[in-house]
Structure 1
Amino acid sequence: MAPSVEEISSSLVREYLSRKGLKRTIACMDEEHPRTPASINNRSLLKQMLNIEDLYRQNKLQKSPVKTLLEIIVKHHIERLHHENITTGDSQHVVPNTGSTSDYRAGSPSIINETKADEITPVICSELSSEVKEICSIPVTDLSAISEKDGPTSLNPNNFLIDNTDYQAGQLPMPLKKENYTRKEKEESLIVGVTSKNKTSRIRRGMVARPVAQESNRRRQSQRVEVSQPLFIRDQESRESQDGLAKNASNWEEQNLKSIDSKEENQEKKDFRSKGQITVNTIKVKMKPDAHELNLDEMVLDDIDDSGVLPEVPLHSTVSKFKFPGRPMDHHNTTELKTILLGSSLSCFSTEWKNQGFTFSDTHDLGYGIVQRKGGPCGVLASIQAFFLKKLLFENTDGGDVILQRLRPSSSTRRHCLVLALTEVLWRAGEEKQAVVAINSGRSHFTAFGHYRSEGLFEKMTCFSVDNIKDLQVILEQHIEQYEMGMFGCILLVISAVLSRSIEKVREDMDLHTTPLIGAHGYCTQELVNLLLCGKAVSNVFDNDVELDSGNGNMTLLKGIKDQCQVGLLSLFEHYNVCKVGDYLKSPSYPIWVVCSESHFSVLFGLQRELLTNEDKDLEFDLYYYDGLANQQEEIRLTVSVGKLAQKHHQVDADLIPPLELCIRTRWKDASVNWNETEPIL
């Protein structure tokens, strides 16, 4: 089934927002217009659907290529329109400040294509503040009063544009007549260009090209357009001109309103002005406000369509009312962090770690599963997967009373349960007293120096500290895209867990203080897995601490698990008598286990909590297995038989028993496992 126009359009907008880094806007869009199975998440597929592969290749060859597919399409149509205007001679209709078209060179562009626009910086320095006041105070009908000696000037990087402006046909200079244009030409919006010759001279000229049809103008007068606030800002000094600009813009607005013939239209203008809105044929220049003047709680997004009707009900703001002070990462803490994570401040995360986030499977029956791209961070992913399943199966009510139905969660449910899982892990790491959330702010806070190797992450990191679990959940909700979809998502969680626990306490938890949390080949150590599972980076999986006599009257303290865990752990190493998993991990509060088998971590879980408390030796129950790295395509349901029921099943050669069954038998001795027609994982 081919995607609809709406799905392709939505995917195109999401690609634009993603390439521009507008993560909060994407989150708002996903909330108001959720993704569907037909949504296109692949950029190459989107190019094919839009048939713009050639345009994409041409764009890549440009000196300054645009970054998004939407810009490529817009650029193509602007250049095409520009070419048509030159071919048909429309460019001769551009009016210079002399009031005559004959003095203007034929073939000069009436519309600036995007390549030119990229070279023009639409910013006015503080020295030009008086010039901005002057042009803002000139009514449209007085454009011909600009000095004739100035003559036409070419576009240059000092130009700036005042866009989104309509003018009535009766207000245009005499050389332009309505009968000289087709109906199509009348409906086009054009650009008012204002050029500055140098910093101290007055503004040289103003141009108005082609009239806008009366019908189109009247229809658009009920719409509101705001000029982008940062357009006229270069530095702090430009703020001083704010009051003067607003006053001049208001005078210009009054003069334009007087030109409206209909009393009804005039009344519409006054209604909008009373609400603090700006009409289409009015330019209002507003300087950038200080941060303390912004009330983010009242920010509203309004859609403007061609019907002339403005939406009365505002969208819900995606900016939370909670505000938390962030602390930028510094060089000292970065060095300490890299040392405890990787063993040295000169080490760097592997590509597998950098590209790993908490993204979910697209397979219908495995929508609850977090996908692992490549080997390495499996211990982190399996631990978060376990807590995610706890939230999804036993604490979530969106899936109904039937627990099996909860294994088919919606996208919003998955995201919500992921936030709750991350919240629980970090809150427990902070001893349920405080927690730290690390995010990528996108800009560097310090310059690397000394015995340190930069990889472009820690320098851009900002940390938020909270002292209650509700605030922790709010921060994670605000930045969940960085963990779920962005790069460094897995790394950010590990850093947050270490900082929540504190670097000093993580070292104290370990048997050997110099042990890194990420070992050889990028694998997670047991200390890192234990930090996520039980909140402490202890080195062992047995219950409590054990003292060993190391000779000469010295005792060695081996630290283990102190309390029963919410989710557990089973290890193949116990089958080979390398370690002993204690009851605190083997019998957790919920029937969910992280499985350590042959240096890889995966997840095993059941749907009934009763199997943990039932003392009956003759049991038969189902367990589900998920491995995010194995490219799993179907649900794996195992039927486990214990006691007398296990003896009824056929006994196979011990050498052919899958490692997963051996792990299960460390919890249920001599259990037999039926793979229910699923191919056993050897």
Structure 2
Amino acid sequence: MAMNPVKLDQQTIQDVRNLLWGSALKDEIFTRWTQGFSFSEDEPTALVQHEGGPCAIIAPVQAYVLRAALFKDNPPEDISAVTEEEAKELLCAALTQILIDVASSTYRVVSLDNSSSEQNTSNTQEASTSDAAATEEAEDGERSPKRPRLDEDLFHSRLRCTECEDEEALRTCIKSSIPDFTNEFGVLLHLYSVVLTKGIEQIKNEVEDPGESLIDCIHGHGSQSLINLFLSGKAVTNVWDNDKEVCGLKLHGIPRQATIGFLTLLEHMRYCEVGWYLKNPRYPIWLLGSETHLTVLFSKEENLVVRESPHLNAKQIFQSFDPEGNGFISTIQLADLMSALNLVSEKEYVDIMTTKLDAESLGIITMHCFMEEFYPGESTTDTPRSFTLYHYNGLARSCIENKVRYQSGKATIPEELDVQIITDVSTMKMCLETKWPTIEVTWNSNHIPSLN
């Protein structure tokens, strides 16, 4: 059952503020983050982002909206033709699923107390009216930042939290709260719901530096830890697979196949290495990261991703014992590896397998030999050589005709990389090549989508 909303205590509010914003929250940054989840007039399932910053929340929610729309029983033939009511149902499903994916026990839905004083209500109404006027006057579909608004201290003082013990109660609560999520503070309310559902202390345990805020205090961009929390349910700082030990420090990565994927231009620039779990999510939907913005790439072709299997699980666990990526482990690690995979790990049997897998007594066991012995006959699904990709960018100024719409393109992956003249040197192509090195995409209207 869902409980009635209760006021958050001052210590919890302060802890959340410090975790998200650090010790000093700038008015300008808070203003940029104050927007609701609203769909484009030109694309009924595409969320609009008004200003820079909250893409760290809006883009993952957009990805979950697409998951709810495309990968369910009887999906709509054309997601560009769904009704307003159907779009709201998809938003409900997305917000609910994100909380389910991050939760360890109780679900928490944050809302605003609307029973404030008459003066505060009047001020809020005036701000809303002024905001609407500013939005009409804004150029390029962007919202004017110079508008009366609810003070961030007043916003935090009005936060309320509803606890839901099961998924059914959560769905009911989210559905009844949709007006809050589509109003001015909807993005922040969902962000705070995720943080409190995950747990402040648990997030601190997962991030690399607990003293670093999840939102950059200078530029207002969401951190990789915040992005990873939405994509994988874990607020880890790194994008590689599993944990790595570097100079004696244990650094956390993505622990399992993510729900939504992640590709980044920064990998092309050699600033990071995105692991298999994020490049091959459970659904063919990826966040694309530039230096400053997040957009979404998706396809209806499910064979673009590999489903989890015993073979895949074994391969990933083997790699966790081989953090350097050498393709082999020491023979002394075999017992622990077999135990981790729930294989027979009694000493006598391990000794027999050690002799067999390391026949030349080199002291190592290769992944190939191990997989052939315990998981032979891998069944794989070939990646299609031709498929349609779609791209979403929530900033109107970055879209054709300043209209937030999905842009489609025909992708091909040549089996062999022929010598050819390279004509596409766009950041989009560089980003996609981190997953498909030979990919070629012909975008509609001959317009390459922007990552920024």
Q: Could you tell me the TM-score, scaled by structure 1's length?
A: 0.47
Q: Is the 8 A contact 1:330 1:459 kept in 2?
A: no
2:31 is aligned, of 351, 356, 370, to 351
Alignment equivalent of 2:211, drawn from 485, 492, 514: 514
CA offset at residue 651 of structure 1?
3.2
Post-superposition offset of 1:491: 0.6
Pair 1:622-2:392 in alignment:
no
Distance 1:398 1:635 in 2: 17
Which residue type is aligned with residue 421 of structure 2? Answer: Q
What is the identity, as a one-letter code, of the residue corresponding to 1:644?
E
Match of 2:68 in 1: 391
Q: Which residue of 1 aligns with 2:87?
A: 414
Contact 2:228 2:235 in 1 (8 A): yes
Q: Which residue of 2 aligns with 1:178?
A: none
* Large movers: runs of 4+ above 3 Å: 345-349, 613-618, 644-648
- Structure 2 residue 187 is the aligned partner of structure 1 residue 496: no
Structural mapping, 1:593-632, within 5 Å = 593-613=286-306, 615-616=381-382, 619-631=385-397, 632=399
Alignment of 1:232-247 (within 5 A): none
Shift of the 605–645 alpha-carbon distance from structure 1 to 2, 3 Å rule, reads farther
1:457/1:677 CA distance change after superposition, 3 Å: same
Given candidates 368, 375, 393, the residue that maps to 2:45 is 368
Aligned equivalent of 1:663: 431
Structure-2 residue corresponding to 1:542: 240
Give the equivalent residue in structure 2 for 1:44.
none
Q: Which amino acid aligns with 1:361?
A: S
* Separation of aligned partners in 1, 2:196 and 2:54: 18
- For residues 75-86 of structure 1, the aligned pairs below 5 Å read none
Q: CA deviation at 1:618?
A: 6.7
d(CA) in 1 for partners of 2:2, 2:256: 35
Q: How much does 1:546 deviate? A: 0.9
Q: 2:55 aligned to 353, 365, 378, which one?
A: 378
Count of equivalent residues: 337
Say yes or no: does 1:333 pair with 2:12.
yes
Match of 2:421 among 639, 651, 663: 651
Residues of 1 paired with 2:202 and 2:30: CA distance?
26
1:438 is matched with: 110
In the alignment, what sits opposite 1:314?
none
CA deviations over 1:506-551 (Å, ceiling 9, x no partner) = 11111111111111311111111111111121101111111111xx
Say which SS state the counterpart of residue 457 (structure 1) adopts.
Answer: helix
Aligned pair in 2 of structure 1 residues 361, 609: CA closer, same or farther (>3 Å)?
Answer: same
**Residue in structure 2 matched with residue 288 of structure 1 by the alignment:** none
CA distance in 1, matches of 2:406, 2:54: 22
1:557-597 deviation digits (Å, cap 9, x = unpaired): 21111111111111111111111111111001110001101
For 1:122-271, list aligned pairs within 5 A. none
Partner SS state of residue 305, structure 2: helix
Q: Which amino acid aligns with 1:440?
A: L
Match of 1:636 among 382, 396, 407: 407
* Residue 176 of structure 2: aligned partner: 478
Offset from partner CA, 1:336-386 (integer Å, 9 cap, x none): 1110010116655521111x11100001xx221100011111111100000
Counterpart of 1:465?
163
Aligned to 2:260: 567
| Amino acid aligned to 2:189 | L
CA distance in 1, matches of 2:164, 2:179: 20
| 3-state SS of paired residue (1:625) | strand
CA displacement, residues 389-435 of structure 1 (integer Å, 9 cap, x when unaligned): 00011115362xx4xx234211111111111111111111113x321
Q: What root-mean-square deviation, in Å, do the aligned CA atoms of Structure 1 and Structure 2 show?
A: 2.2
Map Cα deviations across residues 426-479 of structure 1 (whole Å, 9 max, x no partner). Answer: 111113x3211000112469xxxxxxx953111111101112111111001001
Checking the alignment, whether the CA contact within 8 Å between 2:385 and 2:413 is kept in structure 1 is yes
Uncovered stretches (5+) of structure 2, i.e. residues with no partner: 118-150, 307-379
Aligned to 1:675: 443
Q: SS of the residue aligned with 1:643? A: coil
TM (norm. structure 2) is 0.70
Q: Which residue of 575, 586, 589 corresponds with 2:282?
A: 589
Against the structure 1 CA distance between its residues 635 and 346, is the aligned structure 2 distance closer, same or farther, given a 3 Å change threshold?
A: closer
Decide whether the 8 Å contact of 1:398 with 1:413 is kept in 2. Answer: no
Q: Deviations over 1:203-233 (max 9, x none)?
A: xxxxxxxxxxxxxxxxxxxxxxxxxxxxxxx
8 Å contact from structure 1 (residues 636, 678) kept in 2: no
* Aligned counterparts of 2:199 and 2:232: Cα–Cα separation in 1: 15
Report the AA paired with residue 415 of structure 1.
K
CA distance in 1: counterparts of 2:277 and 2:114, whole angstroms: 41
Bigger shift: 593-602 or 407-416? Answer: 407-416
Is 1:369–1:626's contact at 8 Å kept on the other side of the alignment? yes
The one-letter code sitting in structure 2 at the alignment partner of 1:442 is N
Deviation for aligned residue 1:331: 1.4
Residue 272 of structure 2 corresponds to residue 579 of structure 1: yes
User: How far apart in 2 are the matches of 1:393 and 1:669?
Assistant: 26
Distance 1:672 1:527, change over 3 A: same
- In terms of Rg, which structure is larger? 1
Q: Offset of 1:496 from its aligned partner?
A: 0.6
